[in-house]
Amino acid sequence: MYENLLALMAQKGISIDAMAKLLNVHRNTVSLKLNGESEFTFGQAELIMDTMFPEYNFKFVFRRKEPA
Q: Which amino acid is at 60?
A: F
Write the pLDDT tens digit of every residue in 39-62: 999 999 999 999 999 999 999 999
Domain regions of the chain by residue span: 3-61
Write the pLDDT tens digit of every residue in 7-22: 999 999 999 999 999 9
In this structure, the dihedral spanned by the alpha carbons of residues 9, 10, 12 and 16, taken in order and rounded to 10 degrees, is: 50
Q: Tell me the CATH number for domain 3-61.
A: 1.10.260
Tell me, letter by letter, the H, E, C secondary structure of 37-49. CCCCCHHHHHHHH
